[in-house]
């Protein structure tokens, strides 16, 4: 009964790490406010569902504006009394590393938890936690290096341009990579801020689990709070006068409402929204590299990834060859339970999301796209959707314009390099693009012309905590990760002193 030295438990018929099973068996998954696991003040709860089976696997506290207010007040107090903000930079560094160490020790647990409520394939789920570990390790190096400047203004004055933490950061996350929230939270903490995190309502498990580990690592009570709930809690967080800055990752509609609401209290927000990212395959591309990379980019996490390469632009001379390879690379994929090792695509997050994706498949057919592949779906109550490849797509079709957030690949032919860029940029989104070519001058031109936040050349969806990430146009604004994120989580103050 042991694997990696840990005993096993069972949740919803699935063998999981005993610590994950025990966490769920303890009862209602609490908010984490002021260092304590807490029920909602009004007592409200919400079911936690397993998208692989459609079964309930637990219950989570469901907060409202009062719970949120409690969390913000605890974050404010922690910020103002300086229990984290004023810690020596080297001490902040060592506690952030300690937290990364703890997450490493608990990767199997958080992997199980993300697979259970988000339906992320278990064999990949620990990589989601790994993103948080990487962010913590990267940002752990920063408290000792965030420094201001002494701009030269002449002999009469000494000017210090200080770089300070901002205060309380509100972080709102979606459901598609729950355990990766330290991508946003680690830079906020490294800069000395306190945080209120609102995870997505479908995926509460890893947020509470990891916030409790943060306490164990020495992040003081009140510095990282978690409030569960839906958009009611999210909008209360945006409006709260005790919150100084926001980071939001989610859909365009919610992002638009959030930006408007944030303006009412003059909060700056980092906003990461969706995409309709083009993967451009030129006629000189290495198709052995390009075809699997392009397909994987849409099947990863069943297409529920903001950078999914959901528009595949292929030069007409290699169009048939590419399609054959894309179909061959995808024909034998298995759709099924997130914990099944043989499965390639897990469930979608909810029945509503599955129905939405199915509707898009109908729309694509009705618009005249050619169906090159529709895989098999298991006969079960999980929210499953088979991979779909549409060929002969053009930019007048909704399947080429709207973010589907499911395993649907739309392949669009082009004849010239200019046409490829025109199609690539003919979208309201601007998150990312892939370029497959052996011509370095062309790769360079593409990088100039593509109106996106990230360009991947002969690769796709590689990320690193040291490299900033963000979008243009309707994909949002502000950068996460890398040193640019620290600018978003700090403010400047200029102090002028007369020199006698």
User: Does residue 306 carry a catalytic annotation?
Assistant: yes
Element spanning 47, H or E:
strand 45-50
Q: Per the structure block, which two tokens stand in for 216?
A: 């164990």
In a 13 Å sphere around the CA of 313, the CA atoms on its Cβ side amount to: 27
Instruction: Give the nearest distance from C-beta 46 to ligand ADP in angstroms.
Output: 11
- Name the site residues for ligand ADP (rule: CB under 6 A): 172-175, 198, 200-201, 230-231, 234-235, 238, 250-251, 254, 257-258
Round to whole Å and give the CA distance between 202 and 46.
9
Give the distance between the most distant pair of CA atoms in the chain: 82
196, 169 in Cβ contact below 8 A? yes
Closest residue to ligand ADP, Cβ-based?
A: 234
Backbone angles phi, psi at 327, to 5 degrees: -65, -45
When the beta carbons of 251 and 447 are compared against ligand ADP, the nearer one is 251
Instruction: Give the nearest distance from C-beta 241 to ligand ADP in angstroms.
Output: 16
Cβ neighbours of residue 440 under 8 Å, at least 6 residues apart?
Answer: none
Looking only at the bridges linking them, the beta strands covering 168-172 and 245-249 are parallel
Backbone angles phi, psi at 480, to 5 degrees: -100, 165
Instruction: Give the nearest distance from C-beta 489 to ligand ADP in angstroms.
Output: 19
11, 27 in Cβ contact below 8 A? no
User: Which residues is 158 bridged to in the sheet?
Assistant: 497
When the beta carbons of 9 and 406 are compared against ligand ADP, the nearer one is 406
Using a 10 angstrom Cβ sphere, with 0-12 exposed, 13-18 middle and 19 or more buried, the burial of residue 492 is exposed
When the beta carbons of 221 and 476 are compared against ligand ADP, the nearer one is 476
When the beta carbons of 36 and 230 are compared against ligand ADP, the nearer one is 230
- Torsion over CA of 457, 459, 463 and 466, rounded to 10 degrees? -50
Instruction: Give the nearest distance from C-beta 231 to ligand ADP in angstroms.
Output: 3
User: Does residue 403 carry a catalytic annotation?
Assistant: no
CA distances from 493 to 78, 161, 201 (A): 21, 6, 37
Instruction: Give the nearest distance from C-beta 257 to ligand ADP in angstroms.
Output: 5
Candidate list 306, 403, 417, 488, residue with the active-site label: 306
Instruction: Give the nearest distance from C-beta 236 to ligand ADP in angstroms.
Output: 8
309, 301 in Cβ contact below 8 A? no
Instruction: Give the nearest distance from C-beta 392 to ligand ADP in angstroms.
Output: 29
When the beta carbons of 231 and 484 are compared against ligand ADP, the nearer one is 231
When the beta carbons of 133 and 172 are compared against ligand ADP, the nearer one is 172
* Other beta carbons within 10 Å of 497: 10
When the beta carbons of 199 and 434 are compared against ligand ADP, the nearer one is 199
CA distances from 57 to 44, 118, 144 (A): 17, 12, 43
Round to whole Å and give the CA distance between 230 and 47.
12
Candidate list 272, 403, 417, 488, residue with the active-site label: 272
Active site residues: 272, 306
């Amino acid at each position: 009964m042991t694997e990696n030295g840990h005993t096993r438990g069972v949740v919803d018929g699935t063998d999981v790490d005993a610590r994950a099973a025990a966490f769920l068996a303890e009862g209602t998954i609490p908010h984490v406010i002021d260092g304590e696991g807490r029920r909602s003040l009004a007592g409200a709860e919400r079911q936690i569902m397993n998208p692989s089976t459609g079964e309930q696997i637990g219950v989570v506290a469901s907060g409202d504006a009062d719970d949120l207010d409690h969390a913000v007040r605890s974050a404010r107090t922690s910020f103002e009394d300086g229990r984290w903000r004023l810690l020596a930079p080297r001490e902040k560094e060592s506690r952030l590393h300690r937290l990364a160490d703890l997450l490493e020790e608990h990767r199997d647990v958080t992997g199980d938890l993300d697979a259970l409520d988000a339906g992320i394939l278990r064999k990949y789920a620990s990589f989601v936690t790994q993103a948080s570990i990487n962010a913590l390790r990267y940002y752990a190096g920063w408290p000792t290096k965030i420094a201001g400047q002494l701009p030269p203004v002449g002999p009469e004055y000494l000017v210090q341009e200080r770089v300070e933490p901002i205060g309380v950061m509100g972080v709102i996350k979606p459901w598609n990579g729950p355990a990766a929230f330290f991508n946003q939270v680690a830079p906020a903490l490294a800069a000395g801020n306190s945080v209120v995190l609102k995870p997505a309502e479908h995926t509460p498990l890893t947020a509470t689990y990891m916030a409790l580990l943060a306490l164990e690592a020495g992040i003081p009570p009140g510095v990282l709070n978690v409030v569960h709930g839906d958009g009611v809690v999210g909008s209360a967080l945006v409006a709260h006068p005790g919150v100084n800055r926001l980071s939001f990752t989610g859909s365009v509609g919610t992002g638009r409402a959030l930006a408007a609401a944030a303006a009412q209290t003059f909060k700056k927000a980092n906003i990461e929204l969706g995409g309709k990212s083009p993967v451009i395959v030129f006629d000189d591309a290495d198709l052995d590299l390009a075809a699997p990379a392009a397909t994987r980019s849409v099947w990863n996490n069943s297409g529920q990834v903001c950078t999914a390469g959901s528009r595949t632009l292929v030069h007409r001379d290699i169009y048939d060859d590419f399609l054959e390879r894309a179909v061959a690379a995808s024909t034998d994929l298995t759709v099924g339970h997130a914990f099944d090792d043989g499965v390639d695509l897990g469930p979608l997050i909810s029945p509503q999301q599955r129905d939405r994706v199915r509707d898009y498949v109908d729309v694509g057919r009705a618009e005249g796209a050619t169906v090159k592949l529709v895989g098999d779906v298991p006969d079960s109550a999980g929210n499953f959707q088979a991979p779909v490849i549409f060929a002969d797509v053009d930019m007048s079709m909704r399947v080429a314009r709207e973010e589907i957030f499911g395993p649907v690949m739309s392949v669009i032919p082009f004849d010239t390099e200019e046409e490829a860029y025109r199609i690539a940029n003919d979208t309201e989104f601007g998150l990312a693009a892939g370029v497959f070519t052996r011509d370095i001058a062309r790769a360079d031109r593409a990088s100039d012309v593509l109106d996106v936040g990230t360009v991947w050349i002969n690769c796709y969806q590689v990320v690193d905590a040291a490299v900033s990430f963000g979008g243009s146009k309707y994909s949002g604004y502000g950068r996460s990760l890398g040193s640019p994120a620290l600018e978003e989580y700090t403010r400047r103050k200029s102090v002028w002193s007369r020199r006698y």
